């Protein structure tokens, strides 16, 4: 991972990274809220539109999952598989 220079900010590079992650997380949360905004103006969705929206969301989450597995590979196959299994176990609590 490439470290960026931090001249004059007085923050350690890892502190800067944490601040950047916090800011980006805030933007991501705001974007999610904006994505839900149209549903306040639509009474209900037809089954076809709901199916299309679910299919798109599923594709996006599947792509994100594969990207996370790819990012975990440098830490070893065992830890990557453990992370996938723990994530799947956590999700099973909310599915049933």
pLDDT digits (tens, 9 = 90+) for 28-56: 888 888 878 887 888 788 899 889 988 99
Contact 83, 71 (CB under 8 A): no
**pLDDT value for 11:** 65
Helix (H) / strand (E) element for 40: namely: none
Instruction: Output the average pLDDT for the chain.
Output: 80
Q: Which residues of 42-72 are buried (b: 16+ CB within 10 A; e: fewer)?
A: eeeeeeeeeeeeeeeeeeeeeeeeeeeeeeb
Which ranges in 1-96 belong to alpha helices (H)?
A: 13-36, 47-72, 77-95
DSSP character at residue 9: S
Q: Give the C-alpha separation, 82 to 87, whole Å.
A: 8
Paired tokens of 26: 């805030």
């Amino acid at each position: 991972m490439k470290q960026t220079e931090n001249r004059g900010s007085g923050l350690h590079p890892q502190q800067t990274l944490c601040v950047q992650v916090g800011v980006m997380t805030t933007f991501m949360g705001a974007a999610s809220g904006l994505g839900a905004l149209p549903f306040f103006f639509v009474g209900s969705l037809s089954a076809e539109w709901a199916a299309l929206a679910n299919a798109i969301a599923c594709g996006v989450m599947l792509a994100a999952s594969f990207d996370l597995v790819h990012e975990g590979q440098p830490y070893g196959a065992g830890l990557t598989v453990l992370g996938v299994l723990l994530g799947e176990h956590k999700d099973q609590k909310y599915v049933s």
